[in-house]
Amino acid sequence: MYQWTADRIEWYDRAVRFTGFSDKVAEFLSPHMPPNESVCDLGCGTGHLAMALARRGYRVKAADRNPLVLDFLRRESERRGLNVGIVDADWHTLSTPLSENITMVFAGRLDTELPFYLELCGKRLLLVVKNSPQSHVKNDGETSPSYVSKAHLLQALETMNLHYQVEDHRVEFGQPLRSVEEAEAYIASFNDRGFRPAEITDRLIQFDDSEFPLYLPNEKRVALFVIDKQ
């Protein structure tokens, strides 16, 4: 389970606002979900994707079990006047189906638990996974379900009699930063086993911005899997 902290939430929110990442993901998800259908973002984290889908008119739920991110989502959805149903629960305790569509972005043990996630949706499962092993954040010595790749998922689907389609996308999701020191703290929050500051500072881009003069680029290469339940 991803370990959210107040700092990580703030950094994530800042990056989403700066890059429009969640709106871009919602844009390539939407053609696969009729606007009159319901959708639940499973493992929603901060809920930015759920809010982006709600702005597009979907009937949206957002499921997670971390109180920090759910509190953030409650505040933000209320502030923005968005109707997002919040599901505070462990995934494996949820009743089925949750909604017509289930979305999961860098979440879940997709290579081993696909049948369970399919039970949670009425019509289709929409999964966004990494299409490249490269990342500017490294979890050294740590295994994470978010690192399931397109190749891993294709391999898992080979043994299942399911209709699915795959699309490749590229989405920028870099991090605006206030200083080199904050950049080092940002990377250190994901990797506490030692890093060389030069590996970070050499990649920073300078902006003419009084609040966030530095930017750490991160183009995410992702694959969207649209899996029909029937």
Task: Quote the pLDDT of residue 165.
Answer: 96
May I ask the CATH architecture of the domain 6-228? 3-Layer(aba) Sandwich (3.40)
The least confident of 25-34, 46-55, 152-161 is: 152-161
Q: Which two tokens stand for residue 182?
A: 């904050």
Task: Quote the pLDDT of residue 74.
Answer: 97
Say which residues have a Cβ less than 8 Å from residue 60's Cβ, sequence separation at least 6: 38, 39, 40, 41, 50, 51, 53, 54, 83, 84, 85
Would the pTM count as exceeding 0.75? Answer: yes
* H or E segment and range at residue 222: strand 219-228
Mean pLDDT of 82-88: 95
pLDDT band at 94 (very low <50, low <70, confident <90, very high): confident
Task: Quote the pLDDT of residue 68.
Answer: 96
- Going from N- to C-terminal start, the domains of the chain cover 6-228
pLDDT of 186 above 50: yes
Per cent of the chain over pLDDT 90 is 64
